[in-house]
Amino acid sequence: MFPQRYFPGGTSKATAYVWPTPDPQGPIIRPLAKLATLLAATAHFRTRCGLESDDPLGTEKLLDGKHGTQRRIFYPEVDWDRFNVFPSAVIQPGPTWTATLACGGERNYLTYHGSLRLILIDADRYPHEMERSLRDYGTWVGQLLDDLKSYFAYNDELAGTTITQERGIARGTVTEEVSRGKAYWSTAFLIDWKS
């Protein structure tokens, strides 16, 4: 459950989402699903996608493309021939995952630690004003990182321990932009987590 305090400027939209079968289960895939649900529930991602921040169907719209909208959050890859939408996010397993022995109380148990890669992509909204365009995209990314930071501070199921920019903000190559039909910005982060 995601209490309201995790989503500045809005209420929790993540609690009502029901994943299509099969449900993401287990310590490898569940963190991807949790991050996808969190991202779909943030006011900043929703409004950037043209939804109301408090849309009760917003999570379904962004994760499944239901209710007359296009899917915006993908994991682990996106088929650009089918889903050429901006903004969008791709969530992938990161390079690390471990189960560590933790001692406590009457028993020992394993805790999970790992990393996720979050790629944020958006169209160049000011194609003839490079500085304005970069500020616009960078501000949006910063707002999403603030949302994640707030969430991770209060969550035990997917507690983020570090967010590291893996790839700086960059424009797509000319070939990529021609194939997608738009100039766009992207960046990637590695998110270390524990549960």
pLDDT tier at 48, thresholds 50, 70, 90: very high
Burial class (CB in 10 A: 0-12, 13-18, 19+), 151: buried
User: If you average pLDDT over residues 55-76, what whole number do you get?
Assistant: 87
Half-sphere exposure of 181 (CA within 13 A, CB side): 6
142-171 pLDDT tens trace: 999 999 998 888 877 788 899 999 999 998
The pLDDT assigned to 108 comes to 73
Angular region, 67: left φ>0, alpha ψ -120 to 50, beta rest: left
Beta strand 107-123 with 159-171 is unpaired
Q: Quick check: 64 and 20 in contact, CB under 8 A?
A: yes
Structure confidence at residue 1 as a pLDDT band (50, 70, 90): very low
> Can you say how many angstroms the Cα of residue 50 is from the centroid of all Cα atoms in its chain?
16
Of the ranges 17-31, 105-119, 126-140, which is most confident? 126-140
Distances (CA, A) of 155 to 27, 31, 34, 100: 16, 12, 11, 19
For residue 87, pLDDT over 50 is answered with: yes
The average pLDDT across 36-44 equals 90
Most distant CA pair in the chain, distance: 64
User: Would you place residue 17 in the very low, low, confident or very high pLDDT band (cuts 50, 70, 90)?
Assistant: low
Asked whether residue 19 carries a pLDDT value surpassing 80, the answer given is no
- The structural domains of the chain, with segments of one domain joined by +, span 4-194
Angle between helices 26-41 and 130-153 (to 10 degrees): 120
Q: Pick from 34, 65, 32: which is nearest to 51 by CA?
A: 65
Query: Does residue 15 carry a pLDDT above 50?
Result: no
CA–CA gap between residue 76 and residue 36 (Å, rounded):
11
CA 188 to CA 22: how far, in whole Å? 28
Out of 11-15, 78-82, 99-103, 176-180, least confident range: 11-15
Name every residue whose Cβ is closer than 8 Å to that of residue 76 and which is 6 or more positions away in sequence: 32, 90, 91, 92, 93
Give percent of the chain above pLDDT 90: 41
Type of residue at 171: R
According to the model, what pLDDT value does residue 66 have? 84
Assess whether pLDDT exceeds 80 at residue 36. Answer: yes
Average model confidence (pLDDT) across the chain? 83
Instruction: Give the pLDDT mean for 110-117.
Output: 91
